[in-house]
Homo-oligomer: A and B are copies of this chain.
Amino acid sequence: MDETLLDIGEVAERTGLAPSALRFYERKGLISSTARNGLRRAYRPEVLERLGLIMCARGAGFTVAEISSFLSAGPGDREVREKMAVKAGELNQRVAQLTRLRDALDHAATCDHEPLTDCPDFKRAVWNARPESTASSP
Alpha-carbon distance A37/B43, docked complex (angstroms): 63
Residues of B within 8 A of A82 (CB): 109
Q: With A84-B108, A117-B71 in contact, do A59 and B97 touch (Cβ < 8 Å)?
A: yes
**Cross-chain pairs A/B with CB under 8 angstroms, 21 sampled:** A49-B117, A50-B117, A52-B126, A52-B127, A56-B101, A59-B97, A59-B131, A60-B101, A60-B129, A71-B117, A73-B108, A73-B116, A75-B114, A81-B108, A85-B110, A87-B105, A91-B102, A91-B105, A95-B98, A95-B99, A98-B98
Alpha-carbon distance A127/B81, docked complex (angstroms): 20
Partner pick for A53 among B53, B126, B131, CB 8 A cutoff: B126
User: Quick check: A109 and B88 within 8 Å, CB to CB?
Assistant: yes
Given A59-B131, A61-B61, 12 more contacts at CB 8 Å? A49-B123, A57-B101, A60-B129, A70-B108, A81-B110, A82-B109, A88-B102, A88-B105, A88-B106, A91-B99, A91-B101, A95-B102
